[in-house]
Structure 1
Amino acid sequence: PYVDGICAFKDNNNIFYRAKVLEVRRISVAAPIECRVWLVDAGYHQTGVLNQLLRLPQGLAEVPHQAVEVYLCSVKPMDGDS
């Protein structure tokens, strides 16, 4: 797996997701290699270890992502308080 690559991510409940790799790092020599991913169909970030990342068949990697990241701006309370 490499940063910005698409792969499968197996979570702690043994559920598989398509994921975009955001970061791969090792904190110390004795520690496992950590990874941070964006679950492209679920729409949230997840942190795990390298062995949770798996190769994804090319056909599945090419399917458009189903989650869209959005940001709210200029949001105000409904009662007019600021």
Structure 2
Amino acid sequence: MATLSVIGSSSLIAYAVFHNIQKSPEIRPLFYLSFCDLLLGLCWLTETLLYGASVANKDIICYNLQAVGQFWRLEGPRLR
């Protein structure tokens, strides 16, 4: 699910940037939501990769990633 989120949001961002439509008032909220979704998906992917790895202080890193992910999950709807 995180992979699809990253692919979908990055494709929307790339389309908006390459066609220079991110400055349009109709597209700007979608652009910001896609950006938040991209960052949240990257947090989820990082947590998934860390779950199976043997990393020192993994619990602290995963806790901080969860806090950052929670921020992006809550910040996304506010940008509309």
Shared fold per TM-score greater than 0.5: no
Q: Which structure carries more relative contact order (alpha carbon 8 Å, separation 6+)? A: 2
More strand, by proportion = 1
Q: How high is the TM-score relative to the length of structure 1? A: 0.24
Which entry has the higher C-alpha Rg, 1 or 2? 1
